Amino acid sequence: MYDIIIIGAGPAGLTSALYARRAGKKVLVLEAKSYGGQILNANKVENYPGILSISGVDFAKHLYNQVEKLGFDIKYETVIRILENKTVITNQESYEGKAIIIATGAQNRKLDIENENDFIGKGISYCATCDGNFYKNKVVAVNGGGNAALEDALYLANIASKVYLIHRRDSFRGENAYLEELKKKENVEIIVNSTIKAVEGKELLENITVLNTDGNESTLKVDGLFIAIGQVPKNDIFNNVVDLDEKGYILSSDGVHTKTEGIYVAGDTREKVLRQLTTAVSDGSIAATIAIKEMK
């Protein structure tokens, strides 16, 4: 029997483990892949308070080592189900806890084109506010049509020398006010009815191939590509113990509690306004603190 079972070993999950272990609780972390989560894709992290610059990999290592020093159990198993009695079933075993924190994060929706993964952190990013400053006075492209894409393009227009905004339709889902502001920017070029079909480069991204609905292809020389076509949480396996919004994120009245007593949520997997490293670790610390306080 564990005091707290944490599902997910990203920044939110590991921070929950850190706070729980510092409180002397017996902790199990379950992770399907590797610790670190999406922060592993960040070439550099320079927007975390108190840290001038650090790679995402190094940040994850430091956080993991900090928790490991306190002693905890981590098992690399895939969670299949949570029962209402706070039993977690994985592909290998089942575990009982007094409290459960779901911190599975969300995956950035990818273009699913050849070489995309090769350029992540080397020209391809899914977070303009995280990585935009690396492209000062350079040429970038943003792919997407929602508020996230429009906001990313506006943010980057103040940093980059040129911004291409590429959208597969002729109209945008994002707010018109953002779009009108973008149209006023001299360094922003809006390309509609087009999709990105290829990314190319040697060590770093150099070109993207754009295909429009007429079947014509064009090559754009860019230093960076920011993909903003949404995120994908994988919370369907928890729908017996939590409520989900229309996008699949876990709903919570206060950012911590789910509909099931003793089951909490933290990090990018919950419905929230901002998904950043700072908010993930904040969520993790709050979820663990409340879980400990309410533990029966």
DSSP 3-state of 142: strand
Mean pLDDT of 64-73: 97
Question: What was the pLDDT predicted at 132?
Answer: 92
Catalytic status, residue 3: no
186 CB-near residues (< 8 Å, 6+ apart) = none
Sign of CA dihedral 144, 148, 154, 157: negative
Residue 235: which pLDDT band, with cuts at 50, 70 and 90? very high
Identity of the amino acid at 179: L
Residue 95: which pLDDT band, with cuts at 50, 70 and 90? very high
Would you say residue 43 has pLDDT above 90?
no
Catalytic status, residue 131: yes
Question: What was the pLDDT predicted at 45?
Answer: 85
Catalytic status, residue 223: no
Choice among 130, 152, 268, 283 that is catalytic: 130
Higher pLDDT, 129 or 194: 194
What element of type H or E holds 102? strand 94-102
Choice among 3, 131, 152, 223 that is catalytic: 131
End-to-end CA distance of the chain: 13
Distance of CA 154 to the CA centre of its chain: 20
Distance of CA 93 to the CA centre of its chain: 28
Say how far apart CA 10 and CA 72 lie, in whole Å. Answer: 15
Residue 202: which pLDDT band, with cuts at 50, 70 and 90? very high
Question: What was the pLDDT predicted at 39?
Answer: 87
- Please tell me the pTM assigned to this model: 0.75
Residue 68: which pLDDT band, with cuts at 50, 70 and 90? very high
Do the beta carbons of residue 146 and residue 173 sit within 8 Å? yes
DSSP 3-state of 165: strand
Question: What was the pLDDT predicted at 147?
Answer: 85
Identity of the amino acid at 22: R
Distance of CA 40 to the CA centre of its chain: 10
Q: Which domains does the chain have, with CATH numbers?
A: 2-106+233-294 (3.50.50.60), 117-227 (3.50.50.60)
Percent of the chain with pLDDT over 70: 100
Residue 262: which pLDDT band, with cuts at 50, 70 and 90? very high
DSSP 166-211: E-SSSS-SS-HHHHHHHHT-TTEEEE-SEEEEEEEESSSEEEEEEE
Say how far apart CA 74 and CA 8 lie, in whole Å. Answer: 10
Higher pLDDT, 91 or 41: 91
Mean pLDDT of 111-140: 93
Choice among 58, 112, 127, 283 that is catalytic: 127
